[in-house]
Amino acid sequence: MRVAVLTGGTHVHVALREGERELLRETLPAGAPGATVAAVADRVAGHRPDVLGLASFGPIDVDPASPTRGHLRATPKPGWNDFPLGPELARALGVAAWAVDTDVNAAARAEAAHGGETALAYVTVGTGVGVGWVHQGRTARAPDHPEAGHLPGDPADPFRGVCTFHGACVEGLVSGPALRARSGGDPAALSDDDPLWDWVARDLAHLVHAVMLLVPVERVILGGGVPEARPFLGGLVEARARALAGAYRRIPEGLVGPPRVTRPDLEGAFLLADEARAW
């Protein structure tokens, strides 16, 4: 029996499968870390999962050989700094084996498994900006996971950015909090033809272009709350990325598209549970 746990900024998702049959799927609020682990274990009580797949927000140690595997790192989320999330969950759930990856790497795994791509990037734009990358079914986990959401955005973007660490990185320019700061209110109230969306597309195009130069992929999935609410962004980002790439790096038609898997980050956590079983 596999248990999949997905930890996000405000919520934790937990699901159980025996073979392909789903026995449980619940969403819990993410409070203090110890209480959150206890709440997950409480929901799973009565079942006996043997493997755990954990997909977590980062930064988190995902190096399979690291003594602090599954420990969170410097996170702005209060109380979660350095919390040994993976080991604590594994202990509370009583599983024999577990595997951990970032939420975006997990989503990239599920999307590539679904679409059969050899190389794929999953970009999420919501509370933060994250990039997962998968190549031949594997993600980069050692010595560390990618943090491409903190690459620079369009140098012509006049906004100063809100990232605590970098100011005008892509996350600092186009995440939910950045859009609130830029629009001076609720970005949901902006019309689709507001000029802000073109800056968002330009900043994300710099990210996609950088990904294509460094680790070429067959597909870029653009997920998360912002593109979900503004589905036209995918086409704009692709067009802007193509203009940036010029003749040097081909940006194929249809490179950027929406997720094809429902809740791909949680599906990816199940793939991690399979991986844990194989070890």
- Judged by the rule CB under 5 A, the positions of this chain that interact with Zn ion are 150, 163, 165-166, 169, 171
User: By C-beta, is 62 or 162 nearer to Zn ion?
Assistant: 162
User: Residue 194 — φ and ψ, nearest 5°?
Assistant: -65, 135
Cα distance from N-terminal residue to C-terminal residue, the chain: 16
As a whole number of angstroms, the distance between CA 69 and CA 86 comes to 7
User: By C-beta, is 203 or 267 nearer to Zn ion?
Assistant: 203
Minimum Å distance from CB 35 to Zn ion?
29
Listed residue (65, 82, 67, 85) closest to 143, CA to CA: 65
Are the C-beta atoms of residues 121 and 211 closer than 8 Å to each other?
A: yes
User: By C-beta, is 25 or 166 nearer to Zn ion?
Assistant: 166
Minimum Å distance from CB 167 to Zn ion?
7
Minimum Å distance from CB 56 to Zn ion?
19
Minimum Å distance from CB 175 to Zn ion?
9
Minimum Å distance from CB 220 to Zn ion?
20
User: By C-beta, is 15 or 169 nearer to Zn ion?
Assistant: 169
User: By C-beta, is 7 or 175 nearer to Zn ion?
Assistant: 175
Minimum Å distance from CB 147 to Zn ion?
8
The neighbouring-strand residues paired with 221 are 122, 257
User: By C-beta, is 36 or 124 nearer to Zn ion?
Assistant: 124
